[in-house]
A and B are shown apart, each in its own frame.
Chain A
């Protein structure tokens, strides 16, 4: 090569090198121990918005699989007896059939375990909204002394010494390092796939089915000020991240949202729970005080304790005649159209340590 060609070549290389992303001689990236995880794309029906997928914890096939295993594995409890799934049962919309859940030491909590339905779209977790998103929520139960009671460092040590988990973390995150952050990210990824979008309501919404006359009557009560359910339970997620004092007690027994904000106006407020799969998620309310939907609706209809601190939306019910028993019956029939067997028996959400559960025959829902 002549000197001239050599100089042109060198300059060209300089141009190319200077435009390739600016590594500028910085230490080259560390080689991963495992290949990158496989991005997971979930197709949603037309009546749902895009699935939130955080940039710092994107869904991957391997991450979701790891999270599923962690969700069902009792390894994250102090005496290795209890997994997340014991208080969050898939067939009950990932809620608990007990009023209060029992921790590993036989101690019961003071709030009912909430259901986990479409949590990807929920920004404030727990009844009082104290945790930000799924990752924030997943940090709490493991070290909680009345729940799983395992300090995070001990949990990490257990996973590091496990025969399979280092490899699963490697597959999910590119290397086998295990941390609290990665544990909660994996669990959050799995929970982000808890999507209930194929109830009869959804199919009607998409024009694939029709309500019976009684279901339609119940829907008409739900979606108008007759029932006035829609303000706190919109027609997409049937929940809002808003907090309300619904007049459960004349003297507030649980401060609720106040414990998070310190605002006296928030005393006794709790988040609006989703009504999706409400038929199978008894008992109801933040303290599980009501066993049936009839009791819940009776409370909202005229059974609440009125007072200055009660939500105006609840107090507003005093301005119209209460719903009649027949109207309440039709409202419950409509609420049953929010049951989604495809979600409750989705094999991808089931216990990976057990054989798949057969989908039951349902009444056309």
Chain B
């Protein structure tokens, strides 16, 4: 073989070897500035005490003992924001059920810009684009457990929250059940609880929550831990809104069957944002 031939052969060989090395990389990740993971945990208190289910030991703001048996809610458009103006969506919809351990952490893996993260935002409930009948029909547990009744809105989708338990009707006396269920409302005249009433414009009771956290940098390969603190008494506490309305909510006033009760729903929507706070820490990673 001539020298030229050897060179040509070497060139072909080099090309083929480069194909061999590079041609099989189907799973190459998209380059990101900073691959990280973020876990969001939940922490519940009632009147500052850790939540213990089925314990008739908590006092609501009216001084009434109550317990918590059921707690389910949905958060949407959950985002982490940075001082630099970036944001990353951690999850579009998260269904939390205190009876389901798999629902009690939100895990995010992805590439995010280098930034100092200082806020967590989400919508409590579902906005108008998401709160549509059967929209999440493939999420069987969420769909079946949280579907909103068509009698309170023929095309409305889901409960935002189901918080249930017992309360003392009188101090030390007999208990009754409460069901604090939140969601939207629309009436078409067919609901026997509101005979003949037509209220065609939906009342949406979802709300936005914007929580500051200490600015936190998650280094490449590291992880962040966000804890959402939820004070359940906040749902029932008058936070003295600017309009002067008293938003205190007692179980004797609204024990149950409050899904279509606008006064109750409005109070809960007004109080809800004050239930939440957040903290954040960074773990590991390369500096």
Please report A residues at the B interface, Cβ cutoff 8 Å. 3-4, 7-8, 11-12, 14-15, 18-19, 47-50, 121, 123, 216, 220-221, 223-226, 228, 230, 234-237, 239-242, 264-265, 308, 310-316, 318-320, 327
- A7: chain B residues at CB < 8 Å are 9, 13
B177: Cβ under 8 A from any A Cβ? yes
Residue of A nearest to B164 (CB): A312
Closest 8 pairs between A and B when the two form their complex, measured CB to CB: A315-B177, A316-B256, A312-B177, A224-B151, A312-B164, A223-B151, A11-B16, A234-B144
A265 touches B20 (CB 8 A): no
B257 adjacent to chain A (CB < 8 Å): yes
Choice from B5, B20, B255 contacting A14 with Cβ under 8 Å: B20
Q: Do residues B143 and A234 form an inter-chain contact, with CB atoms below 8 A?
A: yes
Bound Cα distance A319, B141 (Å): 28
B144 in contact with A18 (CB, 8 Å): no
Q: CB-CB < 8 A to A48: which residues of B? A: 137
> Which stretch, B120-128, B185-193, B217-225, B272-280, touches the partner chain A?
B185-193
Enumerate chain B interface residues (CB-CB to A < 8 A): 1, 5, 9, 12-13, 16-17, 19-20, 23-24, 53-54, 56, 69-70, 134, 137-138, 140-141, 143-145, 147, 149-152, 164-166, 175-179, 190-193, 255-257, 259-260
B177, A314: Cβ atoms closer than 8 Å: yes
Contact of B137 among A3, A8, A49, A311 (CB under 8 A): A49
Indicate whether A50 sits within 8 Å of B138 (C-beta atoms), given known contacts A312-B178, A320-B257.
Answer: yes
In the complex, the answer to whether A49 meets B140 with C-beta atoms within 8 Å is: yes
Per the bound structure, the CA–CA distance linking A126 and B177 in Å amounts to 27
| A314–B1 CA distance with the chains assembled, in angstroms | 92
- Selected A-B contacts with CB under 8 Å, 20 pairs: A3-B1, A11-B13, A12-B16, A48-B137, A49-B143, A50-B138, A224-B260, A225-B257, A234-B145, A240-B145, A241-B141, A241-B144, A311-B177, A312-B69, A312-B179, A313-B164, A313-B179, A315-B177, A316-B178, A316-B257
B255 touches A242 (CB 8 A): no
Q: Are A223 and B150 in touch, CB under 8 angstroms?
A: yes
Question: A240's contact among B20, B56, B144, B255, by CB below 8 Å, is which?
Answer: B144
Q: How far is the CA of A259 from the CA of B175 in the complex (A)?
A: 26
Judging by beta carbons under 8 Å apart, are A319 and B257 in contact?
A: yes
On whether the beta carbons of B147 and A234 are closer than 8 Å, the reply is yes
Cα separation A228 to B16 with both chains bound (whole Å): 70
Contacts of A319 in B (CB 8 A): 176, 255-257
CB closest chain-A residue, reference B255: A319
> Is the CB–CB distance between B24 and A18 below 8 Å?
yes
- Identify 15 new A-B residue pairs, CB closer than 8 A, beyond the known A230-B151, A308-B175: A19-B24, A220-B192, A221-B192, A223-B149, A235-B150, A236-B144, A265-B53, A310-B177, A311-B177, A312-B165, A312-B177, A312-B179, A315-B176, A316-B255, A318-B177
A310 to B174: give the CA distance in the assembly, Å.
13
Give the distance in Å from the alpha carbon of A326 to the alpha carbon of B12 in the complex.
89
**Which chain B residues lie closer than 8 Å to A8 at the CB level?**
9, 12, 16
* Residues in B neighbouring A220, C-beta threshold 8 A: 151, 190-192
- B192: nearest residue on chain A (CB-CB)? A226
Q: Which residues of A contact B143 (CB under 8 A)?
A: 49, 234, 236
A319 to B252 CA separation, bound complex (whole angstroms): 10
A229: nearest residue on chain B (CB-CB)?
Answer: B149
Residue of B nearest to A217 (CB): B192
For B146, give the chain A residue with the smallest CB separation: A234
Find out whether the CB atom of B147 lies under 8 angstroms from the CB atom of A235. yes
**Complex-state Cα separation, A8 to B8, whole angstroms:** 11
In the complex, the chain A residue whose C-beta lies closest to that of B8 is A4
Q: Which residues of A contact B166 (CB under 8 A)?
A: 308, 312, 315
> CA of A313 to CA of B181 in the docked complex: distance in angstroms?
11
Contact indicator B145/A225 (Cβ below 8 Å) = no
Closest to A230 in B: B149
A224 touches B192 (CB 8 A): yes
Q: How far is the CA of A44 from the CA of B9 in the complex (A)?
A: 60
Closest residue of A by beta carbon distance from B12: A8
Q: Which residues of A contact B144 (CB under 8 A)?
A: 234, 236-237, 239-241
The answer to whether A316 touches B149 (Cβ under 8 A) is: no
For the complex formed, measure the closest distance between the CB of A266 and the CB atoms of chain B, giving whole angstroms.
10
Residues of B within 8 Å of A223, CB to CB, are 149-151
- A308 CA to B23 CA in the complex, in Å? 67
Also in contact, A224 and B20, with CB within 8 A (given A49-B140, A312-B69): no
A81 to chain B, nearest CB (A): 37
Q: Which residues from B are CB-within-8-Å of A310?
A: 177
| Cα–Cα, bound, A237→B144 (Å) | 8
Residue in chain A with minimal CB distance to B254:
A319
Q: Which residues of A contact B259 (CB under 8 A)?
A: 225
In-complex Cβ contact of B141 among A18, A123, A311, A320 (8 A): A123
Instruction: Give the distance in Å from the alpha carbon of A320 to the alpha carbon of B257 in the complex.
Output: 8
- B66 CB to nearest A CB, Å: 11
Please name all residues of chain A whose beta carbon is closer than 8 Å to the beta carbon of B23 when the two chains form the complex.
Answer: 15, 19
Shortest CB-to-CB span from B143 to chain A, Å, is: 7
Select from chain B the residue with minimum beta-carbon distance to A221. Answer: B192
Residues of B within 8 A of A123 (CB): 140-141
Cβ distance B30 to chain A, nearest Cβ, rounded Å: 21
Q: Give the contacting residue for B147; candidates A224, A236, A320; CB below 8 A.
A: A236
For residue B145, which residues in chain A have a CB less than 8 angstroms away from its CB?
A: 234, 240-242
Across-interface contacts of B5 in A (CB, < 8 A):
4
Complex Cα spacing A311 to B191, Å: 24
